[in-house]
Structure 1
Amino acid sequence: MQTIKLSARTSTAVRVARGGALEVINTHGSQVVDTWAVLQSDPEHGLSMEHTRAIHGRVYVRAGDVLFDDRRQPLLAITADTSPGIHDTLIPACSAARYRELGYQGEHDNCSANYCLALTSVGLPVPVRTPGPLNLFMNVPVDVDGSFKFSAPVSRPGDSVLLEALEDVVIILSACPQDMVPVNGESQEPQDAEIRVYEPVERIQTRNS
């Protein structure tokens, strides 16, 4: 097992072999982690929230769900989730434009830039557009009239989500830097998270133990 500290406001990219898994641990309970995945063999194709929503017929994902790529092929599976299960699939990664809209003057850390930095760090090309992420632990309640709001996470310190790789993938993660609306808690203070990466053989041993 490999353990990675995902520092607040930063990103990382991790290669995970088919049959392996990656666990995202919300150390402080309030941190949103934007999550993407692309195929190692063909990084132009990756995790698609649009297709995943359409296949499951709902806007929320939960333990037991398969997550699909842009060709509707299985890419990841949520094999465990110790949190209340509130994760967002609707909201795009925050960007420089988003912070300008919120009134921020100057350059602000953002998940779109973090996505590009993470891809570059492992030698993968940067796409023209940032795909929609799976926003782990992000709480965006949707009302019956279709309206939504940005609320503080309901996850607790130590809650985690386990993602199993159904193909050889690169998983990209960003500890969201949002500090102008309460998606990272009422304090609006981004925090660290912890990542654990499991090799396929470790997963086999765990299932057989």
Structure 2
Amino acid sequence: MKPTSVITRVDVPAREGRAVRVGAGDLVRVSTPEGAQVGDLFAFVSADAAEHLSAAHTRGHVDRLFPHVREQFVTTRRRPVLTLVEDTSPGRHDMLIPACDPARYRNLGHHGEHASCAENLVTALRGLDIEITTVPQPVNLFMDITPNAGGDLEWRSSPAAPGATVSFRAELDCVVVVSACPQDLVGINGHEPGPLVIEVHRTDSDER
């Protein structure tokens, strides 16, 4: 799939989240300019935000922990919402871990305010006048969570190199939210949290 033009480019500062409206057939590309930055990805159907990308339903749909290129992410109603079309990273992404939230940081021993992906999601959606009551489990782009032989989860630093991208084709009109994960108490983001970039491309109709 070859994009013809960038219709939206959004810089996502470190520790923050941003939302973009995407039309069916558009290409959504998320990149990590500095490398090793996890991005929590959410997608909500434009016609009804109660229907959203579901990591759990997607695992059942593809029979693996993360879709391969050309496979689809599905919603809570088991409808395809995004198709993975390109991945220039090592392909380490996660669909097991929920979005970080204030309780997570308190449990890790942090005192006081701390940015979180759950709060970033709510704030980004409010900017588009969308309210949600539950934070869905995200797709954690560039995040390397690996089960060991004993079944324990190993939280590894993201292996994504500077400039690595993951690209999706939207199958439904939707709102895509990306949070540049602010996690700095567990070493998933390299040395410290960094920025991400979202690009929305309009594609040739014969390639949709």
TM-score interval, normalised by the smaller of the two chains: over 0.9
* 1:37 and 2:43 aligned: yes
Distance in 1 (alpha carbons) for counterparts of 2:25 and 2:197: 21
Is contact 1:62-1:81 (8 Å) kept?
A: no
Is contact 1:175-1:193 (8 Å) kept?
A: yes
Distance in 2 (alpha carbons) for counterparts of 1:73 and 1:207: 20
Tell me, what secondary structure is at the counterpart of 2:154? Answer: coil
Is contact 1:12-1:174 (8 Å) kept?
A: yes
Deviation string for 1:164-195 (max 9, x for gaps)?
1000000011000001111101x1x1001111
* 1:19 and 2:22 aligned: no
* 1:162 and 2:184 aligned: no
Tell me, what secondary structure is at the counterpart of 2:188? Answer: helix
Percent of aligned positions that are identical: 37
Distance in 1 (alpha carbons) for counterparts of 2:11 and 2:165: 14
Partner of 1:143: 148
Alpha-carbon RMSD: 1.4
Superposed counterparts of 1:95-134, under 5 Å? 95-127=101-133, 129-134=134-139
Partner of 1:172: 177
Distance in 1 (alpha carbons) for counterparts of 2:126 and 2:205: 33
What is the one-letter code of the residue matched to 2:104?
Answer: R
- Structure with greater helix share of residues: 1
* Uncovered stretches (5+) of structure 2, i.e. residues with no partner: 1-5
Structure 1 residue 60: Cα displacement: 2.4
Tell me, what secondary structure is at the counterpart of 2:145? Answer: coil
What is the one-letter code of the residue matched to 2:194?
Answer: Q
Distance in 2 (alpha carbons) for counterparts of 1:62 and 1:190: 26
Deviation string for 1:137-177 (max 9, x for gaps)?
00001124322121101111111001110000000110000
Partner of 2:196: 193
Partner of 2:204: 204
Distance in 2 (alpha carbons) for counterparts of 1:45 and 1:68: 10
Structure 1 residue 205: Cα displacement: 6.9
* Count of residue pairs the alignment pairs up: 202
* Uncovered stretches (5+) of structure 1, i.e. residues with no partner: none
Which ranges of 4 or more aligned residues in structure 1 deviate by more than 6 Å?
A: none
Deviation string for 1:3-61 (max 9, x for gaps)?
21110011111000000011001111110000000100011100000000011111123
Distance in 2 (alpha carbons) for counterparts of 1:207 and 1:66: 16
What is the one-letter code of the residue matched to 2:176?
Answer: I
Distance in 2 (alpha carbons) for counterparts of 1:192 and 1:169: 23
